[in-house]
Amino acid sequence: MQTVKLALAGFGTVGTGLARILEENEELLFKRSGMKFTITSVLVRDIEKQRDYIPGPETRFTTNPEDLTADPEVDIVVELMGGITLAREIIIKAIKAGKHVVTANKHLLAEHGIELFKLAEEYGVGLYYESSVAGGIPIVESIKESLCVNKIKGMVGILNGTANYILSEMTTNGLEFDTALQQAQDLGYAEADPTFDIEGIDAAHKLVVLIRLAYGEDYPLAKLPTEGISKVTGLDIQFAREFGYRIKLIGQVRDVCGKLEAGIFPALVKYTLLLARVGGNYNAVRVEGNAVGPAFFHGQGAGALPTGSAVLADIMALTKVGKPNNTGFYSSDLKEADILPPEHATSEYYFRFNVADEAGVMASISKVLAEHNISIAQAVQKGDISGPNVPIVFLTHKARAKDVKDAIAKIDSMPFIAEETVSFRIL
């Protein structure tokens, strides 16, 4: 019987989850693979720290990364520590020592993936990362294998459970953003510094990883337009509902005549779409291929066991492969994508103008929109709002991002505008 020896860098939520699955499902794993899996060493910052889960005596805790990467017994190094400095060093050392690597680190892959994949190819080892995107949903494997025969027309996903939880609470329970965020923090869904989750940065990391898988090209993280949910108000969610939409934090990429249009942004999603029904801290991805049509995946995007399941799937896969399939492409030397300038992207839009309640306002706004080739599909003005100002909401037909930006800048300089205009895309 073959034993696969694992070394873990980090033993937090996901590492513990992995160890628990290995123990709980040991018999099944043997029935599936004919192999046994052992964690031989675990890299931690503090060996003395109290832990909820204690692995068996075969596991040695260490504070020295060399105990993982330089141990000839270790087959696979599993990086679950996060961060991009030490994690990168450990992965590079493991690859150079001829070891396969499994990582959940989307931040590292988004920033340094190109370098790491090239190195892994050079050394002929696997660098697998199913757990880095959408937790337990097998989206990496699906794009790399099952859907790999498709030209990908586009992908759209809900890639951050924390942001989706906050928006869901705002929608379902009428909370304002700050209250919903506080609640997410109290429940442990959001971190003390929630910037990565609520500003779309975590989702951007994941989208960069997905774009590479789908197109075999690099969309540099620094170039990806990224907008979070901190500006979404209860009022906008209410207006969106009235028109039959939900507001979701969306990651999207589309092939527009050979150029990639991509970004992270809050958008209105029609109530009837499955994507609008993704609730709480769930994740989902919709992939549209030129052969398969639309394929939709939904599941838990985080958590010890779902993410541990994805990490272990990578480990199982690496024990079976001939030549590792890291990028999903024959060559791992990925070029930068041909990027559609974001200002050329077209979409339908939701605008909420907050204006003084006086004559001629609607006419003035409409005129500016028309001058910028923005055509109005639906409009609503509410008379029953207390205070001197009233919201006017427009839903538009397709318009160019640059025209929208210019038109809103012009409108926001007009005297009747009471506060900065809100605009979201409609999916």
CA distance 416 to 20: 61
Give 142 or 185: the residue with its C-beta nearer to its own copies: 142
Taking CB under 8 A as the criterion, the residue among 14, 305, 340, 401 binding its own copies is 305
Taking CB under 8 A as the criterion, the residue among 291, 383, 387, 415 binding its own copies is 291
Closest CA to 326 of 314, 337, 309: 314
Taking CB under 8 A as the criterion, the residue among 118, 298, 402, 410 binding its own copies is 298
Q: Which residues contact 158 (CB under 8 A, 6 or more apart)?
A: 164, 248, 249, 250, 251, 275, 278, 282, 283, 284, 285, 301
Please give the biggest Cα pair distance in the chain.
83
Q: At what angle do helices 234-242 and 161-173 cross, to 10 degrees?
A: 70
> Is residue 275 involved in binding its own copies (CB under 8 A)?
no
> Is residue 277 involved in binding its own copies (CB under 8 A)?
yes
Shortest gap between Cβ of 310 and its own copies (angstroms)?
7
Applying CB under 8 A, the span of 255-263, 308-316, 377-385, 412-420 interacting with its own copies comes to 308-316
Helices (DSSP H) in 174-218: which residue ranges?
A: 177-186, 195-198, 201-215
> Is residue 1 involved in binding its own copies (CB under 8 A)?
no
Taking CB under 8 A as the criterion, the residue among 188, 257, 258, 330 binding its own copies is 330
Give 32 or 367: the residue with its C-beta nearer to its own copies: 32
Closest CA to 289 of 149, 110, 177, 185: 149
Cβ atoms 378, 397 nearer than 8 A: no
Instruction: Please name the helix (run of DSSP H) or strand (run of DSSP E) that holds residue 218, with its range, or none.
Output: strand 217-218
Annotation marks residue 223 as catalytic: no
CA 220 to mean position of chain CA atoms: 15
CA distance 209 to 195: 20
Within 29-48, the residues that bind its own copies by CB under 8 A are 29-34
CA distance 340 to 260: 5
> Is residue 303 involved in binding its own copies (CB under 8 A)?
yes
CA distance 98 to 386: 68
Closest CA to 8 of 72, 90, 84, 85: 90
Applying CB under 8 A, the span of 139-147, 343-351, 361-369, 375-383 interacting with its own copies comes to 139-147
Q: How many residues bind its own copies (CB under 8 A)?
A: 58
Shortest gap between Cβ of 279 and its own copies (angstroms)?
9
Applying CB under 8 A, the span of 143-151, 191-199, 244-252, 352-360 interacting with its own copies comes to 143-151
Give 15 or 328: the residue with its C-beta nearer to its own copies: 328
CA distance 253 to 214: 10
Shortest gap between Cβ of 144 and its own copies (angstroms)?
9
Taking CB under 8 A as the criterion, the residue among 310, 369, 374, 401 binding its own copies is 310
* Distance in Å from the first CA to the final CA of the chain: 52
> Is residue 151 involved in binding its own copies (CB under 8 A)?
yes
CA distance 101 to 359: 66
Shortest gap between Cβ of 177 and its own copies (angstroms)?
25
Applying CB under 8 A, the span of 54-62, 325-333, 345-353, 366-374 interacting with its own copies comes to 325-333
Taking CB under 8 A as the criterion, the residue among 232, 317, 345, 392 binding its own copies is 317
CA distance 175 to 50: 37
Give 272 or 375: the residue with its C-beta nearer to its own copies: 272
Q: Which two tokens stand for residue 373?
A: 């080739």
Query: Pick the catalytic residue: 5, 99, 106, 206?
Result: 206
Closest CA to 78 of 94, 62, 63: 94
Within 336-375, the residues that bind its own copies by CB under 8 A are none
Within 216-245, the residues that bind its own copies by CB under 8 A are 216
> Is residue 146 involved in binding its own copies (CB under 8 A)?
yes
Catalytic site positions: 206
Query: Where do contacts with its own copies occur on this chain (CB under 8 A)?
Result: 17, 21, 24-25, 28-34, 130, 136-138, 141-142, 145-151, 216, 274, 277, 289-300, 303, 305-306, 308-310, 312-313, 316-317, 320-323, 325, 328-331
